[in-house]
Structure 1
Amino acid sequence: MRMLVSVRDVTEAREALRAGVDFIDLKEPSAGALGGLALPVIREVVAALRGGGAAQAGGPAHAPLISATIGDLPPDAPEIILERARAVGACGVDLVKVGVPGRGAAACAALEALAVLPLAIVPVLIADDGLDAAVIDAACAPAFAAVMADTQAKRAGSLLELLGTDALAAFIDRAHAAGRMVGLAGALRVADLPQLARLGPDFAGFRSAVCDGSRAGRLDPRRLEALRAAIAMTPTDAPAQSRRAADALAM
């Protein structure tokens, strides 16, 4: 299981790079579940991670994927969503994350509009009210790079607590059957790692677990290193992982 960590600036991005995370995710936690950073900040972080700033940070040899959220935007404002997605993609990130509700016709319509963009879009299904099969299938279209499930109300409990393992296992299986990489996020903690390993997502996203205080606080390098070590030490259900994820991990 690979590790995604959300960061808000160059300093936090360099800390994530030093820790060897697999996905460095750019967002502003104080602006909502998928709060967007200003475009100049996104460009600054991308330049630091891909230019001389990465070497100065003493980072590992591997090059993490860089994702960025477009912000918390209503699904019934498609033109605003598309415009912002294009602007974020033009900043040079590898993946553009777009939040959509986990249920409803508006979510499917938003996904259909996003599918035509020449960008590596990752739909993030906001799962507080559950997920439905039609939205999952629309989010698993071949046009998309991956699919995630996340939560809006971070203080209401983790994604695991809100949806339960049966619903999440069904989501992961459906995404893998469609050939998509799948990630889980939403107030996940170190204590959730065994359960996550049993579920078998391709990656898991963290913010609260690696901050000093709330998710809007500063990234704590010690917590980040501890989480990285805990993930490396967490045993996985190898047969289940192979059965579910072979196609997705080969992407």
Structure 2
Amino acid sequence: MPTNAPSSRFRQAAKTPLAPVKPEWLVSVRDLAEAKRAVEFDVAILDFKEPRRGALAPVAVQIWRQVASWASAGKDGPLLSAALGESDQAVGLADQLPPEFAFAKAGPSGCNDPDQTRGMWDAVRARLPDRVELVAVAYADHRSADCLPAEQILDLAARHGFRRILLDTCEKNGRSSIDLLGSSRLLNLGRQAHQQLLWWSLAGSITRDQVAGMAKLIPPPEFRPDCFAVRGDVCDGDRIGTLCPDKMRQWMQMLH
């Protein structure tokens, strides 16, 4: 497992106009046991969060430490990502994240103007280990989260020095980010990310069928997501269940 900064495939400071490559795959896991199961399926990023408590609820700090020790003992493997929670919670936890993690995410809930959003980002960044990159988060259901619309967060993130952004849903009620945004708005967000040289990941209760049909939703390949982030669609039952090997295999085969 890697113990340093993100590998070259993710380290790009900005996108380039080169031909698009196959999308990466992020799977959210809640503990070390799920992480060990996920690595069997060629997952690029392991994202640690507790699905019982919300969109970006963090796992226990002890789990971060277990995962960091496991990563340090290995060689190559998926990059590690951590959900820090929303706003104030994220600020309070940021300095406890081990440096073995490549990425961290802080939810923007309650930050309903640009100054609040930038202030939260700055406070989290100041407390994260130097090696850990903060990924901006936008919610398709921004009114439920009392935060800025995705387009505004994307623009703000690009101007504030971010290289990556995650588009997710705050409420986990069965409606996906694709359902909420619609094809036209999703296409425009992809175009915006491409023009502003942002690597972007699409999450938010997305399904394998929706991702398989991405070429119809976003015809220009350069506007499509660089990464697909999933939890519920690879679990037994819903996102609160455990990872299902058969569903993981189906996703792996579709993406690769």
TM score, norm. by length of structure 1:
0.78
Task: After superposing the two structures, state which structure 1 stretch, 151-160 or 179-188, moved more.
Answer: 151-160
Structure 2 SS opposite 1:182: strand
1:101/1:127 contact within 8 Å kept: no
Task: After superposing the two structures, state which structure 1 stretch, 128-137 or 223-232, moved more.
Answer: 128-137
Corresponding residue of 2:67: 45
2:54/2:172 contact within 8 Å kept: no
Distance 1:177 1:228, change over 3 A: same
Answering whether residue 83 of structure 2 is matched by residue 69 of structure 1, we say yes
Which residue identity does 1:27 align to in structure 2?
Answer: K
* Counterparts of residues 34-183 of structure 1 (less than 5 Å): 34-52=56-74, 62-71=76-85, 73=86, 75=87, 77=88, 80-88=89-97, 90-101=98-109, 104-105=112-113, 106-114=116-124, 118=130, 119-129=132-142, 131-141=149-159, 143-183=161-201
Identity within the alignment, %: 29
Shift >6 Å, 4+ stretches: none
Corresponding residue of 1:217: 241
- For residue 157 of structure 1, report the CA deviation from its aligned partner: 0.8
- For residue 108 of structure 1, report the CA deviation from its aligned partner: 4.3
Q: Deviations over 1:100-148 (max 9, x none)?
A: 1498303344235445564400111122137254322122246334101
Which residue identity does 2:25 align to in structure 1?
Answer: M
2:212/2:254 contact within 8 Å kept: no
Structure 1 SS opposite 2:173: helix
Which residue identity does 1:121 align to in structure 2?
Answer: L
1:103/1:132 contact within 8 Å kept: no
Structure 2 SS opposite 1:147: strand
Distance 1:30 1:70, change over 3 A: same
Corresponding residue of 2:38: 16
2:55/2:170 contact within 8 Å kept: yes
Q: Distance in 2 between matches of 1:38 and 1:91?
A: 16
2:136/2:164 contact within 8 Å kept: yes
Distance 1:151 1:132, change over 3 A: closer
1:115/1:144 contact within 8 Å kept: no
Distance 1:120 1:221, change over 3 A: same
2:72/2:100 contact within 8 Å kept: no
Q: Distance in 2 between matches of 1:20 and 1:208?
A: 18
Q: Distance in 1 between matches of 2:126 and 2:196?
A: 18
1:104/1:135 contact within 8 Å kept: no
Which residue identity does 1:128 align to in structure 2?
Answer: D
Q: Distance in 2 between matches of 1:87 and 1:218?
A: 26
Q: Deviations over 1:135-184 (max 9, x none)?
A: 22122246334101100122241110011122222222222222221001
Structure 2 SS opposite 1:70: strand
Structure 2 gap segments, 5+ residues each? 1-22, 144-148, 219-223
Q: Distance in 1 between matches of 2:194 and 2:108?
A: 19
2:139/2:150 contact within 8 Å kept: no
Structure 2 SS opposite 1:149: strand
Distance 1:128 1:102, change over 3 A: farther
Which residue identity does 2:137 align to in structure 1?
Answer: V
Structure 1 gap segments, 5+ residues each? 55-61, 233-251
* Counterparts of residues 188-227 of structure 1 (less than 5 Å): 188-197=206-215, 199=218, 200-227=224-251
Distance 1:212 1:31, change over 3 A: same
- Aligned residue pairs, count: 218
Which residue identity does 1:160 align to in structure 2?
Answer: I
